Each structure stands twice: as structure tokens, then as C-alpha cells.
């Protein structure tokens, strides 16, 4: 069975967005980070998104993969292109009850989300990446479907906002399995649920 890996960028105080639900510019996408992220995603072939994450990530990177970057964005580097092309080739799944306009190379899960994710874990050989908001994190955590938690904690403190775990009902105990500090000050934290260690 392959593992489901939650992949999230957070502030140092654990927020994924500010109080107005805006994602800040705290993530540093430099050459060191591009190399790391490309290495991580190079070992995966499936990415599950929440709707908001999907809409903020996929169109931007698809435009780069197609050779038509969005006007006003930074120049495309080889690391950007590698990431964009890998993302384009992945199986991309969106969890949403409201999203209708999805391209043919993506799948939408509308109902029985936890059961569908459990089924996906039974098929294939590489890890599945999960990027989403607190509602889906809570639903999949309750079912014990998330095998690893991977955070890129940025050196920014915003005091209040949207927490990735704000919808959890119970305490979640984690065991630290890996860390890395990047030159930008971002810290990688990898955890496994304590009951799966």
C-alpha cells in the first residue's frame, strides 16, 4: 500500500493563510528550494488537492509547462520548468463539491472522499501527495489515512489566520522523523502519526 503524504507550507506559528484567507508571500522559491521540491515530487505520481489549493497552484504551473507563463510573473528557470512538467504529468485529483470546470487530465472527487482516498492508496507504487485545507485534513486524519506530514515552516509570524489543523476534534500525536534547515530560514519538518511508528 502506498502512503499519503500531507505537503504544506506554513508560517512559523502554524498558519497556511492570513485572517482574510490570503496566502502570504512568505515562501522563498529559490534554487535550493526548487532542487529539494523537484527531488521530492520526482518520487511521486499522484497529487490530491483541495479546491482552493488546486485553483491557486495548477493553472500557474500548467501555463509554465505549456510555454505560456502568466504575464508579470518572474522569469522561468530550469528548476521551474522541471517542476511544471512533472506536475503536468501527474495524476491530479481535486476534492470539491462545487468545482465544475476541470480539464480532462484531472479527476474530481465529490462524495465518499475518505473511501476514495483509501482506494487510491491501494493502487500504484509511489506515494500520494495531499495539499488541502483544514476540512479535508480533519476528515482524512479521523480515518487514519494520512501516513506522513511534511511541513515547510517559513520564518514569518502572522499571529492569526487559518490553521491547517483548526478542524481537528482530538489531539494528534506525531513523531518527528526528519528535519532540514534551508538557507532562506525555511525549516522542513517531517512527521509520522505516533500510532503508525
| pLDDT tens digits, one per residue of 150-196 | 999 999 999 999 999 999 999 999 999 999 999 999 999 999 999 87
Predicted pLDDT at 21 = 82
Predicted pLDDT at 52 = 87
168 neighbors 136 (Cβ within 8 angstroms): no
Predicted pLDDT at 95 = 93
Residues 22-43 pLDDT 10s: 887 889 999 999 999 999 999 9
Confidence of residue 62 (pLDDT cuts 50, 70, 90): very high
Residues 74-85 pLDDT 10s: 899 999 999 999
Query: Strand pairing partners for 128?
Result: 4, 46
- At 25, list the grid cell: 508571500
Could you tell me whether strands 148-154 and 187-193 are parallel, antiparallel, or unpaired per DSSP bridges?
A: antiparallel
Predicted pLDDT at 197 = 58
CATH topology of domain 4-124+137-181: Dihydrofolate Reductase, subunit A (3.40.430)
Predicted pLDDT at 97 = 83
Confidence of residue 102 (pLDDT cuts 50, 70, 90): low
Q: Where are the beta strands (DSSP E) in the chain?
A: 4-11, 15-17, 44-50, 91-95, 106-109, 127-131, 148-154, 162-163, 174-181, 187-193
Task: Write phi, then psi, for 173 (nearest 5 degrees).
Answer: -95, 130
Predicted pLDDT at 164 = 94
pLDDT at residue 101 tops 80 = no
Please compute the mean of the pLDDT values over residues 50-77 and round it to a whole number: 91
CA 132 to chain centre: 6
> Residues near 139 by Cβ (< 8 Å), separated by ≥ 6?
113, 114
The residue that leads in pLDDT, 184 or 124, is 184
Calculate ∠ Cα 53-58-64, nearest 5°: 145
Predicted pLDDT at 107 = 85
Can you tell me whether residue 120 is helix, strand or coil?
Answer: helix
Nearest to 36 by CA among 192, 189, 188: 188
Residues 7-19 pLDDT 10s: 999 999 999 998 8
Predicted pLDDT at 24 = 77
Can you tell me whether residue 174 is helix, strand or coil?
Answer: strand
The residue that leads in pLDDT, 154 or 111, is 154
Predicted pLDDT at 98 = 83
Nearest-angstrom CA–CA distance, 133 and 49: 9
Nearest-angstrom CA–CA distance, 65 and 99: 23
Amino acid at each position: 500500500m502506498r502512503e499519503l503524504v500531507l505537503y504544506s507550507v506554513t508560517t512559523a506559528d502554524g498558519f497556511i493563510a492570513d485572517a482574510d484567507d490570503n496566502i502570504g508571500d512568505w515562501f522563498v522559491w529559490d534554487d535550493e528550494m526548487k532542487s529539494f521540491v523537484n527531488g521530492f515530487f520526482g518520487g511521486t505520481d499522484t497529487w490530491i488537492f483541495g479546491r482552493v489549493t488546486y485553483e491557486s497552484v495548477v493553472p500557474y504551473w500548467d501555463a509554465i509547462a505549456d510555454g505560456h507563463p502568466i504575464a508579470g510573473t518572474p522569469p522561468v528557470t530550469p528548476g521551474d520548468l522541471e517542476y511544471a512538467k512533472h506536475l503536468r504529468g501527474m495524476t491530479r485529483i481535486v476534492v470539491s463539491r462545487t468545482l465544475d470546470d476541470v480539464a480532462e487530465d484531472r479527476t474530481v472527487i465529490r462524495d465518499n472522499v475518505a473511501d476514495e482516498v483509501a482506494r487510491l492508496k491501494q493502487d500504484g507504487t509511489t506515494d500520494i501527495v495531499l495539499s488541502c485545507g483544514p476540512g479535508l485534513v480533519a476528515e482524512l486524519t479521523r480515518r487514519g489515512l494520512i501516513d506522513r506530514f511534511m511541513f515547510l515552516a517559513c520564518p514569518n509570524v502572522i499571529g492569526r489566520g487559518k490553521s491547517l489543523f483548526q478542524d481537528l476534534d482530538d489531539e494528534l500525536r506525531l513523531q518527528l522523523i526528519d528535519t532540514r534547515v534551508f538557507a532562506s530560514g525555511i525549516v522542513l519538518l517531517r512527521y509520522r502519526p505516533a500510532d503508525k511508528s
